[in-house]
Amino acid sequence: MEAVSLGNLLTDQYPSCTHPVTEVRYKRFANGTKHLCAQCLTCGSRLGEWLSQDGLDMNTVAPFDEALAEAYRRAQTRHNQARIQRERLDRHEEYERYLSESENWYEIRQLVLKRDDYKCQACLLETASDVHHKSYQHLYDEICFDLVSVCRPCHKKIHGKL
């Protein structure tokens, strides 16, 4: 039972899907009738309008593959989640390099610690060892009022790591 291949013709007409392999498939409606459409064999999308059945033997047309579309969506979701994780990790590594290697960060950090008299501004009890960003709006070009001196336990508490 070989379905009719529409190839690049449909991808040119319906740019929402740019995959090159499509087939005419039927979808069965609740009342039992079959309706023709084009389905992308890569992403499972239904492309364009419903097609005419004129001159077509419906017994030669394959059913619409709902599982194909769902599997593609799941794969895309996994791919996007992995990309987001990689981007987060890259940003975190860049930030860590900045904190450990930047002369600018070292200088502004010293100014903030000195301004706060090396006292933790969260508990007001301990000696401050860290400088916390209250906002990341000016990251890599910090403004002193966006920074505060804190001790390590308070810094962990602020970031929810205790």
> In terms of residues, how long is the chain?
162
Q: Are residues 58 and 109 in the same domain?
A: no
Q: How many CB atoms lie within 10 A of CB 67?
A: 9
Structure confidence by residue, pLDDT tens digits, 2-23: 444 444 444 444 446 888 899 9
Q: In the prediction, which pLDDT does 11 show?
A: 41
Q: CA-CA distance, 12 to 48, in Å (whole number)?
A: 11
Residue 84 lies in a domain: no
Residue 76 lies in a domain: no
**Euclidean distance between the first and the last CA atom of the chain, given in angstroms as a whole number:** 62
Q: In the prediction, which pLDDT does 56 show?
A: 84
Q: Are residues 109 and 159 in the same domain?
A: yes
DSSP 4: P
Residue 117 lies in a domain: yes
Measured torsion, CA atoms of residues 2, 7, 13, 14, in degrees rounded to the nearest 10: 80
For the purposes of burial, counting CB atoms within 10 Å of the CB of 104, is it exposed (0-12), middle (13-18) or buried (19 or more)? exposed
Structure confidence by residue, pLDDT tens digits, 20-57: 899 999 998 999 889 999 999 999 999 888 998 888 88
Q: In the prediction, which pLDDT does 5 show?
A: 46
Domain that holds residue 160: 103-162
Residue 91 lies in a domain: no
3-class SS of residue 27: strand
How many separate domains does the chain show? 2
Which residue, of 42, 64, 86, is where some domain finishes? 64
Q: In the prediction, which pLDDT does 161 show?
A: 81
pTM of the model: 0.59
Strands (DSSP E) along 29-143, which ranges? 34-40, 46-51, 62-63, 130-133
Structure confidence by residue, pLDDT tens digits, 92-139: 999 999 999 999 999 999 999 999 999 999 999 999 999 999 999 999
Q: In the prediction, which pLDDT does 162 show?
A: 66
Q: Which of 131, 136, 142, 10 is nearest to 25 (CA)?
A: 10
